[in-house]
Amino acid sequence: MTLKYPLELNEGQSDYMVFQAHQYRTNNAVAGQSQGNRGGVNGPAEGSPIVLYMPTTTPTISNEQSWSETSFAGPLGELKRDVAGGFIGGLNAIGENGSLDQEINSIADKARAIFESAKANSIPALKQGATSFLAGLAGTSGSNMMAMTRGQIYNPNVELLFQGPKMRGFAFNFIFIPKSPQETGVVNQIIKQFKMMSAASLADGGMLNVPYVWSVKYMTGADENPYMNQFMRCALTSIKVQANPNSDMHLTFTDGMPVTTAMSLSFQEVDIILRDDHEESISFQGY
């Protein structure tokens, strides 16, 4: 049975939202589950679908990527970068260039070339290392000492390196003003189901079952709205309920149900969003 608020909401002629709980699955297949959830595949649905009106204000969706500055300062930094990069490049090439003997010889040749290059830069690097050591004893940096004594600093050789995509979080706010005893019952069922499905449950052996995760969809008519972003599966990390918000007194109907009930849902997606997800999305805006 679908839980819907308001009861008169006509899904065939309206924009609205659908929330559905699903059994938790990891993003990649592991022992104990049939498949991973990567690619938008959900675990089995649990509980009733919840249909709610489209909020007046939908959350700002931020697709953030993590980048960080990394410095290979001065001749010593360059030496470390070149030596480490050369060896890592050789290791990554294993399996790409023919027989194992050829690859080992190739790595050995690269190692000799790296060390020959390192010898050419070893004196400036040794000077920088000694300067940094002595500057540390004085409670400062090698660049500070060089600025003070020579009016120069070591070239920071800064690279901006990609660390990975960030997971997204967002929240929705809904106001319930039931207009009948029937709608009062539905509102309470909706609130209780969100609470139940986002809570862990007891398992045998002193363990807890992981809470359900959610699919969240913007809908228009019978289909997902292609003009709104899509969501990955989400964990419901917080549900907040308040009776009669923004009222200076407690107001209830004759049966004791608050006249106005506010519900705030905070979600966090359980997977990162990749370029392929945007390309394969049914939304014109992607995720």
User: Which of 65-69, 131-135, 212-216 shows the lowest mean pLDDT across its residues?
Assistant: 131-135
Q: How confident is the model at residue 87 (pLDDT cuts 50, 70, 90)?
A: low
Q: How confident is the model at residue 146 (pLDDT cuts 50, 70, 90)?
A: confident
Dist CA 271 CA 39 (whole Å): 9
CA separation (Å) from 149 to 20, 106, 153? 67, 44, 10
pLDDT of residue 243: 97
User: Which of 44-48, 51-55, 103-107, 148-152 shows the lowest mean pLDDT across its residues?
Assistant: 103-107
Model pLDDT for residues 160-207, shown as the tens digit of each residue = 999 999 999 999 999 999 999 999 999 999 999 999 999 999 999 999
For residue 97, the number of C-alpha atoms closer than 13 Å in the C-beta half-sphere is 13
Does the pTM exceed 0.85?
A: no
pLDDT of residue 281: 95
CA 143 to chain centre: 38
Domain boundaries, the chain: 3-63+169-280, 65-163
The whole-chain average pLDDT of the chain stands at 87
Model pLDDT for residues 15-71, shown as the tens digit of each residue = 999 999 999 988 877 666 655 555 556 789 999 999 999 999 999 999 999 999 988
- Smallest Cα–Cα separation from 219: which of 64, 49, 60? 49
